Structure 1
Amino acid sequence: MRIDPLSLKLFVAIVEQGSIAAAAQSNHIASAAVSKRISELEAALRTPLLSRTNKGVSPTPAGMALLHLARRLLVDLDDIAVQMRDWSGGTRGQVRVFANISAITQFLPREIGDFLARYPEVDVHLQERISSAVIKAVLDNEADVGICVASVPPPGIEVLPYHDDELVLIVPRGHALARRRRMRFADALDHDVVGLHTGSSINQQLARASLEAGRPLRLRIQVTSYDALARMVEAGLGIGVMPKAVAQPLARSLGIVVIRLDEDWTRRQLTICVRSYEALPAAARLLVDHLRS
């Protein structure tokens, strides 16, 4: 049995307005077409729904039962339309975000928090990855949005500017370099280095800088967070490099000193990576717009 929602809508209008002609006029349908739909509905349900008299029509007992069911069903159908409109407009949905540790530590907690306060029906699934893995996840459609350092993005990736950050050197208080306010990274290569996990963009940059200086990078320990890196440096296990915006608050609570590096590569741009901004789901596009604003 197939019941057309329009037929139910017309049936409700007939009962509420007391005549087929009035229901037809309010719905801009010919009276004969309305009457035919009601006859087909009665045939499908195998029971009379309307009592027809010279004064108009009134629902039969079966018609009264259908009236309550139809009203509830039509409200549910309207709710489906409203909710789907919310999804198409981006106010509902899910966004998969992969980001590197710099973006997660410095910017995303506040920015995603503000976004979710504005769009509480959107779910943001955030995962930390190194920059190269972020780009691969976007290419493989494992992530809708990627945030990382991508100076030369591969084909198939659209890059949008996000935030600038600056890398600085951190050393323990009392270290031989602790009195320096600024220096070249090459001058720090006599010391052991505490690095981030393998493949991180900062580790790769340190390796390139040491290669250009013709000096080995004495990478002694690798950790998975900036807090762990700072604590290893505080303990005297080496020096480290991290974003200035992360290092300065840590220096106020830990026994480390922040030193500016006179290197062009220390000024970085974090970028938002997508396959295509125009092809993003509505919720993901809303998030990208929010992050860029």
Structure 2
Amino acid sequence: MIERVHLRVIQAVEQHGSLTAAAKELCVTQSALSHTMRKLEENLGTEIWLREGRRLRLTQAGQYLLNIANRVLPLLNHAEDKLKQIAQGERGTLRIGMECHPCYQWLLKVVSPFLDAWPDVDVDVKQKFQFGGVGALLDYEIDLLVTPDPLNKTGLCFNPVFDYEQVLVVPKGHALSNCSYARPEDLHDEVLLTYPVATDRLDIYTQFLNPVGIVPKQHKTIETTDIMLQMVACGRGVAAMPHWLAQEYCAKLPLSAVRLGKSGIAKQIYLGTRDSDRGIEYLKAFMHLARSYKHPTEAI
């Protein structure tokens, strides 16, 4: 029978590279760990690892069990945490997943009053997921997903929180800074700076450049908004981001925001939750607070 301890061992060996390191991580002796896994291999009738020098390589069966461990263990941990919170009379922890890089600044402005209003609730923010944002929500890695790209999935609900316009940010004095809007061909000779997101999920590609077959001179990815816009201000490239965020930086850096196309690119931010969590009071309170937060005017 496959038990939780087996999944934890397989995951620990994969993370730390050896039985010795995994045993240390799990606070057991290496001999006990080895005995446990040999018994499992005997019961299953197949090997889990192949030894290559000092390193263990997962077999096909071992890789399958690792995938199971990565999905099942977060769910079990979540269940235990929830039961402990119930037993101790705690409210719990709200785990928020982010699929919107520039929304981190917005989130900070919502989290602060939420923590004040709910002193027994902790907040944890995750930006990297084992199986993507929707997968993390379905697998109970997170409780709430902030995303501009909702997916229709059974058991999930996505509610719009606010509207915004995606704009192009250029340095002051740039040829586009005094234009009423930018055309796709205007980016042909530009260095485009974006967050590290696949181009098929970047609006400036899917809704602006790709439909007319335009490719920027160069595309660079940068993790943080501050560094990205410092680069733009120094003339190292141009960037696309929500207008409400661009406004904040235009007030403190030599930058200008330009509409993308004559009609602009309209977007919405959604909060995704599980249908089964609709009755959680602090989750409902967070969503109400998020919807009530007012952003700077979106007029360009």
TM-score between the two structures when normalised by the length of structure 1: 0.61
Contact 1:97–1:125 under 8 Å retained in 2: yes
Any residues of structure 2 matched to 1:49-64 within 5 Å, and which?
none
Q: Which amino acid aligns with 2:92?
A: G
Q: 1:200 to 1:267 in 2, by over 3 A?
A: same
> What is aligned with 1:65?
none
The answer on 1:189 being equivalent to 2:227 is: no
* Aligned mates of 1:261, 1:183 — CA distance in 2: 5
* Aligned mates of 1:153, 1:103 — CA distance in 2: 22
CA RMSD of aligned residues (A): 2.8
> What is aligned with 1:238?
237
Q: Which amino acid aligns with 2:101?
A: I
Structure 2 residue runs of 5 or longer lacking an equivalent are 1-84, 293-300
- Which structure has the bigger radius of gyration? 1
> What is aligned with 1:273?
272
* Aligned mates of 2:146, 2:220 — CA distance in 1: 26
Q: Which has the larger displacement, 95-104 or 273-282?
A: 273-282
Contact 1:158–1:277 under 8 Å retained in 2: no
Contact 1:277–1:285 under 8 Å retained in 2: no
Contact 2:181–2:262 under 8 Å retained in 1: no
* Aligned mates of 1:200, 1:97 — CA distance in 2: 24
Any residues of structure 2 matched to 1:111-122 within 5 Å, and which?
111-122=110-121
Q: 1:279 to 1:255 in 2, by over 3 A?
A: closer
- State the 1:214 CA deviation: 1.3
Deviations 1:107-130 (A, max 9, x none): 221211111111111111122359
Q: 1:250 to 1:279 in 2, by over 3 A?
A: closer
Q: Which amino acid aligns with 2:140?
A: N
Q: Which amino acid aligns with 2:118?
A: Y
* Aligned mates of 1:213, 1:116 — CA distance in 2: 46
Any residues of structure 2 matched to 1:104-115 within 5 Å, and which?
104-105=104-105, 107-115=106-114
> What is aligned with 1:128?
127
Contact 1:185–1:263 under 8 Å retained in 2: no
> What is aligned with 2:156?
157
The answer on 1:225 being equivalent to 2:237 is: no
Contact 1:144–1:280 under 8 Å retained in 2: no
* Aligned mates of 1:92, 1:113 — CA distance in 2: 17
Contact 1:96–1:125 under 8 Å retained in 2: yes
The answer on 1:206 being equivalent to 2:194 is: no
- State the 1:101 CA deviation: 1.9
- Large movers: runs of 4+ above 6 Å: none
Q: 1:216 to 1:84 in 2, by over 3 A?
A: closer
Q: Classify the secondary structure of the residue corresponding to 2:122.
A: strand
Q: Classify the secondary structure of the residue corresponding to 2:270.
A: strand
- State the 1:84 CA deviation: 5.3
| Number of corresponding residues | 205
Contact 2:164–2:266 under 8 Å retained in 1: yes
Q: Which amino acid aligns with 2:191?
A: D
* Aligned mates of 1:168, 1:114 — CA distance in 2: 29
Contact 1:226–1:242 under 8 Å retained in 2: no
- State the 1:245 CA deviation: 0.9
* Aligned mates of 1:292, 1:256 — CA distance in 2: 29
Q: Classify the secondary structure of the residue corresponding to 2:251.
A: helix
Q: Which amino acid aligns with 1:169?
A: L
The answer on 1:143 being equivalent to 2:136 is: no
* Aligned mates of 2:135, 2:240 — CA distance in 1: 25
Q: 1:153 to 1:129 in 2, by over 3 A?
A: farther
Q: Classify the secondary structure of the residue corresponding to 1:286.
A: helix
Q: 1:171 to 1:152 in 2, by over 3 A?
A: same
Contact 1:86–1:92 under 8 Å retained in 2: no
Contact 1:94–1:283 under 8 Å retained in 2: no
> What is aligned with 1:290?
289
> What is aligned with 1:78?
none
Deviations 1:201-247 (A, max 9, x none): 8x622222322111123343210122221111112221111111111
Q: Classify the secondary structure of the residue corresponding to 1:143.
A: coil
Contact 2:191–2:237 under 8 Å retained in 1: yes
